[in-house]
Amino acid sequence: MAGAAALVLGGAAAATVLAPKPEIDGKKIAILEQQVIELQNALADAERDRNILIARVEEAQGDREKIARLVDELVVKTQRIQELETELQTIAKKLPRPLPPPPKPRLRDDGGVSQKLIGDGVNLQLERFAGCMREWDERSPGTAATVVIGFAIDPEGHVRDASTTGLDDRIVPQCLATAVSAIKFPISQRVTRVNVEVKYIEGQTRVATSRLGTEDAPPRIDD
């Protein structure tokens, strides 16, 4: 009898252990996901401000006092980014499904650098692009490759946030991103988002430029 009682108790305990976790109702999930979106937007803003600070540090060569002040601001901004990332991770543990993707920036057609001027700037680097792809061909003869370089042109005409996709290689994507980052575009009132697709096929390098749109420039951080 005692054995039977133990068996029943054991079964109940097992049922307790195996019972599914209570589901979060849809309203709570919606609230959590809205918090995620707000945090993702705040994180994007903080990262954008940090990139501006990094650019200011690079431009302040030789001015130690200015560099020291900018570095202090950069440390504070980096700490804020870490705090936001921690908050996101905390919410992620509460959600029954993966985090929603970060919202894409809302781009407009007006302002910024025109498609023609972007193309003119990119065309100045065609030989450098071809050199990057020749390096690829030397290591992978006859192998086609495609790299997409995404970047932003800030209102002062500098290339920011250059990144690449499409080719799993240590050298070529960095070579192409460096070539793009060297371009100086005309001054404008808005940030312009651009994709440049570089294809290497049968010994030929082909480049296509796409102007994705513009977005508001971030608040200027005074020198």
pLDDT of residue 96: 79
Spatial distance between the Cα atoms of 128 and 183, rounded to a whole number of angstroms: 11
Q: Which two tokens stand for residue 101?
A: 């993707």
Per-residue model confidence as pLDDT tens for the chain (223 residues): 445 444 444 444 444 444 454 555 677 878 888 888 888 878 877 877 777 777 777 777 778 888 888 888 888 888 888 898 888 888 888 877 777 677 666 788 888 999 999 999 999 999 999 999 999 999 999 899 999 999 999 999 999 989 999 999 989 999 999 999 999 999 999 999 999 999 999 899 999 999 999 988 776 555 5
pLDDT of residue 13: 46
* Collapsed DSSP state (helix, strand, coil) of residue 118: helix
Q: Is the pTM of this model over 0.75?
A: no
pLDDT of residue 103: 67
For residue 44, CA distances in Å to 50, 97, 125 come to 10, 22, 30
Spatial distance between the Cα atoms of 69 and 21, rounded to a whole number of angstroms: 50
Helices (H), 95-153: 115-123, 126-139
Residue 15: its H or E element: helix 2-18
